[in-house]
Structure 1
Amino acid sequence: MRTGLLTEGGYPYASGDAGLWCDRLVRGLGQHEFDLYALSRSRHQEEQGLLPLPPQVTRVRTAPLWTAEGDGGAVGYGRRARRRFTEHYGELAGAVCAAADGSASGAVADRFANALYGLAELAREEGGLGAALRSDLGVRTLERACRAPGAPRTAREARVADLLTVTGHLERALRPLSLDWYGEDALGAADLCHATSGGPAALPGLLARHFCGVPLLVTEYGVHLRAHYLGQGPGAAPAVRVLLAAFHGRLATEIYRRAEILTPGNAHARRWQERCGADRARIRTVYPGMAADGFTEAGESPDRADPDTLVWVGRVEPAKDLVSLLHAFAEVRRREPGARLRIVGSPGGPEGTAYLGHCRALAAQLFPDEAEGAHAVGCNPVSFDEIGSPDAPTLPEVYASGAVVVLSSVVEGFPTGLIEAMFCGRATVSTDAGAVVEVIGGTGLVVPPRNPRALADACVALLRDPERRARLGAAARARALELFTVEQNVAAFHGIYLEIVSHCPVRRDLLDASGAPLPFAAPAESHVPAHWPATPTWALPTTEPAR
Structure 2
Amino acid sequence: MKVVHVTQPVEAGVAVVVLALAKAQQQRGWEVTIACPPGWLADEARTSGIPVHLWHATRSPGPRTARELLDLRKALRKLQPDLVHLHSSKAGLGRLVTRGKTPTVFQPHLWSFRIAEGLLSRVCRRWEALASRWTHLLVCVSDDELKAGRGAGVTAPAAVVCNGVDTQQLHPEPKEDDTPTAVCVGRVARQKGQDLLLQAWPQVLAAVPDAQLLIVGDGPMAATLQATKHPQVHWLGHSDTVADFYAKADVVVLPSRAEGMALVPLEAMACGRSVIAFEVEGVRQSLGDAGEVVPKNDTKALAQAIALRLADPELAGAEGKRGRLRAETLFDRDRMTDQLVALSRNLVSTEGRR
Same fold (TM over 0.5): yes
Could you say which residue in structure 2 is the equivalent of 1:469? 316
Among 321, 344, 351, the residue aligned to 2:215: 344
> Match for 2:271 among 417, 424, 428?
424
* Aligned ranges 1:220-231 → 2 under 5 Å: 220-226=108-114, 229-230=116-117
Which residues of structure 1 form unaligned runs of 5+? 67-165, 233-240, 364-381, 508-547
Structure 1 residue matching 2:202: 3-state secondary structure: helix
Once residues 244 and 68 of structure 2 are traced to their aligned partners in structure 1, the CA distance between those partners, rounded to angstroms, is 43
Instruction: Output one character per residue of 1:152-211: Cα deviation in whole Å (capped at 9) or x when no partner.
Output: xxxxxxxxxxxxxx99577447636963744xx742xx43332224432333332xx43x
2:42 aligned with 1:52: no
Partner SS for 1:311: strand
CA contact (8 A) 1:289 1:484 kept: yes
Identity of aligned residues (%): 21
Q: How far does residue 31 in structure 1 lie from its aligned partner after superposition?
A: 1.7
Q: Is the 8 A contact 1:6 1:205 kept in 2?
A: no
Query: Within 1, Cα distance between the matches of 2:46 and 2:112?
Result: 27
Counterpart check, 1:489 vs 2:336: yes
Correspondence 1:351-430 to 2 at 5 A: 351-358=221-228, 360=229, 362-363=230-231, 382-386=232-236, 394-430=241-277
Q: Is the 8 A contact 1:316 1:356 kept in 2?
A: no
Contact 1:205 1:216 (8 Å CA) reproduced: yes
Query: How much does 1:27 deviate?
Result: 1.4
Distance, in Å, in 1 between the alignment partners of 2:62 and 2:252 is: 47
Cα distance, 1:261 vs structure 2: 1.9
Mapping for residues 16-165 of structure 1, pairs under 5 Å: 18-29=14-25, 30-36=27-33, 38=35, 40=37, 45=38, 51-52=45-46, 54=48, 61=53
The one-letter amino acid paired with 1:291 is D
Indicate whether 1:202 and 2:95 are aligned: yes
In the other structure, the counterpart of 1:516 is none
2:70 corresponds to 1:175: yes
CA–CA distance in 2 between the matches of 1:49 and 1:502? 29
- Structure number with greater Rg is 1
| Partner secondary structure for residue 284 of structure 1 | strand
- The aligned length equals 347
The 1:466/1:386 distance shift into structure 2, 3 A limit, reads closer
Relative distance call for 1:64 and 1:17 in structure 2 (3 A) is farther
* Structure 2: runs of 5+ lacking an equivalent: none
Residue 278 of structure 1 aligns to a residue whose secondary structure is coil
Contact 1:2–1:35 (CA under 8 A) maintained in structure 2: yes
SS at match of 2:161: coil
Q: Partner letter of residue 46 of structure 2? A: P
Name the counterpart of 1:263.
Answer: 139
The CA deviation at 1:268 is 3.7
Please give the alpha-carbon distance, in whole angstroms, between the structure 2 residues aligned to 1:321 and 1:406.
Answer: 10
Q: 1:65–1:180: structure 2 CA closer, same or farther, 3 Å change rule?
A: same
Equivalent residue number for residue 121 of structure 1: none
1:330 aligns with 2:197: no
1:191 correspondence with 2:62: no
In 2, Cα distance between the equivalents of 1:414 and 1:323?
Answer: 20
Q: Judging changes above 3 Å, is the alpha-carbon distance between structure 1 residues 428 and 21 closer, same or farther for their aligned structure 2 residues?
A: closer
CA 1:479–1:353: 2 relative to 1, 3 Å: same
Q: Secondary structure at the match of 1:425?
A: coil
| Shift, 1:341, TM fit | 1.7
Are 2:14 and 2:109, in contact at CA under 8 Å, matched by a contact in 1? no
1:385 is displaced (CA, Å) by 3.8
